[in-house]
Amino acid sequence: MEEKNININDERDVRLNKLQTLIKEGINPYPARVHRTHTLKEALEEKEGQEMTVTGRLMTKRDMGKLTFAHLQDGTGRMQIALKKDEIDEAAYKHFLKKIDSGDIIEVTGEKFITHKKEPSVLVRSFTLLSKALLPLPDKFHGLNDEETRYRKRYLDFLINEGQKEKIIVRSRILKYMRDYLDNAGFIEVETPSLEVVASGALAQTFDTHLNAFDLPVHMRICMGELWQKRLLIGGFEKTYEIGRAYRNEGVDHSHNPEFTMMEFYWAYADINDNIKLHEEMMPFIVEKSVGTLKIENDGDIINFTTPYPRITFHDAVLEHSGIDINNYDDATSLGKAMKEKGYDVEKGAERGKLLDNLYKQSTRLHIIQPTFVLNYPVELKPLAKKAEDPRYTEMFQLVIKGFELSNSYTELNDPIDQRERFEEQARLAEAGEEEVMGYDHDYVEALEYGMPPATGTGIGIDRLAALITNSHTLREVTAFPLMKPEQGSTSQKKKTTTPKKEDSAPRTVNELPMSRDEAWELVLKHNSATPDLQHYRESEVILRALAKRLGRDVEYWGMLGMLHDIDWGLTKEEPKTHLTKMPAILREAGFNDQFIEDVLSHGYGCECADLDNMTRDCEIQYALACGETVTGLVYAAARMRPEKIASLELRSLKKKFKNKKFAEKVNRDVIRECEKLGIELDEFLQLAIDAMKEIAEEIDLA
């Protein structure tokens, strides 16, 4: 990686010299005026012989002596241009060859023609440099495949990877056609506050800040103004909607981002039956308009948005997939016991509502692939919805697709007495220590006392819908600029002087670890005693430390991650599917923050444990832990076969073992190859693993 940086810097120096030469020659490399007559799309559609001036970024350049071909790219497409030495000024031809580079933005004037290979092209008569690029574009086939690099340099991702740009375009269409549908249905678009004194409308943790003018703590909104739009219903507006950004200070994974886009609408004198009908009209309209079909390929499944969509109650869905009849368990203790008997994770001290939510997510939601209305969630989970005929449940539904909760819809609660009681229950839960509770909005309850008409409402996650219909494995793929943690050593990151909160997104350093390396090893010994397990933890630790050193990352943090990644294995290996379920509590009690725990969980993504089989890794540290802890099994098995054990193990021999799928067949070769997503070739990674494990050969019985 260091060598690549040197090459890039060398190239930049060359281009800077060209820039200075151009300026000395009296050429402005960044002129203000452009004279384009055709976009490239328009140029491609013009007749042969048409004179035109087109602009774009130079993506390729191919010198063939007296003839040079190149490709321009603008926002509408790509087109070939050609320069013939005898049909353009000789000095200009040399200038194009010597001073113009791929990545430069230029304007060319000429005549459209068709090459003998039938490719529409512009025969260039003259050209003008519009913007000199000082850094080279990545190689199209090798230069921008790492996901973390793509998200950090998204502008390059869009230039090089056409499919990524199309995903953002589809997202834009979703917003357009959603607005078109709602506007035509008589809804009006409104704007409600983004800063709130009482964060309400959902069960979520907030981002908190302070309003200096009022000396007042405020929260960034967690939904699209649910209680504000209901105030509008009280004020006489019958159909409203809002599209905007919401913020939740929670985990980041393939289906969650800390900031995301939502649409919420509220509809007076309608109920969930009207809402279901609207969904079955609106969703196919949006999907077909956005991508041209109702049958969407998504990770091997064909999702069919053709209506009608099947309906099932929350109770029946959970019973079908878990075998637990939740009606038989009216308190947290009995429900938790039933869940444990079935092998589900039970959060210590959780109330019944939280357990119901966890049971549903662990047993049921991921198995719902086709668009399905899941009806009537328990009253504990929906404090703003009217009760159903069975008062234990609410009159509401979610549209679930491919395990995503795509929309959340209620027949809205408009009884002020009932609403006050539910807010009081949320306040009780907050006092008991529950973090995800809804704030008590006294002003809203007073507003309800003036009378709110019967109504239904819906919230739809735009990011999730876009990800579903573009076959994207993470919401970051459909977000133009996803929030990323600053890279180690980033000059824009201020040094922390206080203990970081668990939600901080600063680079991870040794100062953020709650204990020393030796204290962490004592924690390992507290929960594990089997020698092979302890050896694996040490092997993973030294390999992660070596990787951190190789990549210029925090050696202490990465090493501790390797050491602790399987800390609950001694407690769960008799039931492997429960692996990593006890880890969060162990590490949280020891003082580790949520980010460290999420990093540990990531090595289980794709495995049948802790409900992680549907998740995928998407950043550097996750790839590092996965490949680092997995390669230990291959190196150990290969070394044990040699008389001198690891001392005589060579890369050539280990590569043969890697290619032989029957050798150490439980070692996942695909996970080991995730080293390539770190910018490290397989050969280098295998050698790094050998060298690291040699350092502790005696400890791991390989001396």
pLDDT tens readout for residues 535-557: 999 999 999 999 999 988 889 99
> What does the pLDDT look like over 399-416, one tens digit per residue?
999 988 999 999 998 999
Per-residue pLDDT band at 491 (split at 50, 70, 90): very low
Per-residue pLDDT band at 333 (split at 50, 70, 90): very high
Helices 620-640/682-694 angle, 10° precision = 60
Comparing 440 with 13, which gets the higher pLDDT?
13
> What does the pLDDT look like over 2-46, one tens digit per residue?
333 445 668 899 999 999 999 999 999 999 999 999 999 999 999
User: What is residue 434's predicted lDDT score, i.e. its pLDDT?
Assistant: 67
Q: Is the pLDDT of residue 107 over 50?
A: yes
User: What is residue 426's predicted lDDT score, i.e. its pLDDT?
Assistant: 77
**Cβ atoms 124, 54 nearer than 8 A:** no
CA distance 377 to 660: 51
Q: Is the pLDDT of residue 506 over 50?
A: no
User: What is residue 146's predicted lDDT score, i.e. its pLDDT?
Assistant: 65
Query: 2-137: what fold?
Result: OB fold (Dihydrolipoamide Acetyltransferase, E2P) (2.40.50)
Helices 517-527/531-551 angle, 10° precision = 150
Comparing 610 with 524, which gets the higher pLDDT?
524
Sequence-distant (6+) residues with CB within 8 A of 634 are 654, 657, 658, 664, 667, 672
Q: Is the pLDDT of residue 488 over 80?
A: no
Sequence-distant (6+) residues with CB within 8 A of 420 are 445
User: What is residue 345's predicted lDDT score, i.e. its pLDDT?
Assistant: 84
pLDDT averaged over every residue in the chain: 88
Per-residue pLDDT band at 188 (split at 50, 70, 90): very high
Least confident of 79-83, 247-251, 281-285: 247-251
CATH 2.40.50.140 intervals, the chain: 2-137
**Cβ atoms 298, 468 nearer than 8 A:** yes
Per-residue pLDDT band at 499 (split at 50, 70, 90): very low
Per-residue pLDDT band at 139 (split at 50, 70, 90): low
User: What is residue 173's predicted lDDT score, i.e. its pLDDT?
Assistant: 97
Burial bucket for residue 120 (CB in 10 Å: 0-12, 13-18, 19+): middle
- One-letter amino acid at 572 equals T
Q: Is the pLDDT of residue 508 over 80?
A: no
Comparing 444 with 139, which gets the higher pLDDT?
444
SS3 (DSSP) at 18: helix
% of the chain beyond a pLDDT of 90: 62
Mean pLDDT of 194-221: 86
**Residue whose structure tokens are 């491919």:** 402
Enter the CATH code of domain 510-694.
1.10.3210
CA distance 256 to 619: 15
CA distance 252 to 204: 13
Mean pLDDT of 81-110: 93
Per-residue pLDDT band at 347 (split at 50, 70, 90): confident
> What does the pLDDT look like over 254-270, one tens digit per residue?
778 889 999 999 999 99
Q: Is the pLDDT of residue 503 over 80?
A: no
Per-residue pLDDT band at 170 (split at 50, 70, 90): very high
Least confident of 220-229, 610-619, 630-639: 610-619
Per-residue pLDDT band at 469 (split at 50, 70, 90): very high
Q: How far is CA 327 from CA 43, 319, 390, 392, in A?
A: 67, 10, 11, 9
User: What is residue 643's predicted lDDT score, i.e. its pLDDT?
Assistant: 83
Q: Is the pLDDT of residue 511 over 60?
A: no
Per-residue pLDDT band at 487 (split at 50, 70, 90): low
User: What is residue 145's predicted lDDT score, i.e. its pLDDT?
Assistant: 62
User: What is residue 437's predicted lDDT score, i.e. its pLDDT?
Assistant: 66
Query: Model-level pTM?
Result: 0.68
SS3 (DSSP) at 632: helix
- Best-predicted range by mean pLDDT (84-93, 148-157, 174-183, 199-208): 174-183
CATH 1.10.3210 intervals, the chain: 510-694
CA distance 395 to 270: 13
How many Cα atoms sit within 13 Å of 371 on the Cβ side? 21
CATH 3.30.930.10 intervals, the chain: 164-306+440-478
How far, in whole angstroms, is CA 93 from its chain's centroid? 46
Mean pLDDT of 154-172: 91
The CATH class for the domain spanning 164-306+440-478 reads alpha beta
Q: How far is CA 275 from CA 88, 306, 347, 392, 487, in A?
A: 65, 17, 34, 22, 45
Q: Is the pLDDT of residue 162 over 90?
A: no
Comparing 224 with 252, which gets the higher pLDDT?
224
Comparing 315 with 250, which gets the higher pLDDT?
315
